[in-house]
């Protein structure tokens, strides 16, 4: 019983390692065979001092869903901006 369990764990570990190694070789092969014009822009790590760009979410006052602050449906009332998920929610407000 113990031997069968040990073989199972060893097999799972071996398969995991093989998949990782094959994935790395696949990435290397793709990078060598494709030119930079086909690969797209290079991804740079986020600057640790500034962090990734924050996308603020605002709550729609009509239906309660959260929407991006860059949405096209917004309204300023009494100097305070309100953001909406749709034109219908904006019009109800």
The band of 77, judged by pLDDT with boundaries at 50, 70 and 90, is confident
The CA distance from 34 to 30, in Å, is 6
Whether 6 maps to a domain, the answer reads yes
Whether residues 8 and 35 share a domain: the answer is yes
Domain enclosing residue 66, as ranges: 57-92
Q: How many domains does the chain have?
A: 2
Whether 72 maps to a domain, the answer reads yes
What pLDDT shows up at residue 13? Answer: 94
pLDDT at 92 over 70: yes
Whether 49 maps to a domain, the answer reads no
The band of 52, judged by pLDDT with boundaries at 50, 70 and 90, is very low
Whether residues 63 and 35 share a domain: the answer is no
The band of 48, judged by pLDDT with boundaries at 50, 70 and 90, is low
92's CB contacts (< 8 A; 6+ apart) are 62
């Amino acid at each position: 019983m113990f031997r069968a369990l040990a073989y199972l764990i060893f097999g799972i570990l071996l398969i995991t390692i093989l998949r990782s190694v094959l994935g790395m070789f696949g990435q290397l092969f793709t990078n060598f065979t494709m030119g930079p014009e086909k690969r797209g822009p290079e991804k740079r790590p986020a600057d640790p001092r500034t962090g990734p760009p924050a996308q603020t979410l605002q709550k729609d006052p009509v239906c309660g869903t959260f929407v991006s602050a860059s949405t096209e449906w917004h309204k300023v009332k009494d100097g305070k901006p309100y953001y909406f998920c749709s034109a219908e929610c904006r019009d109800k407000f």
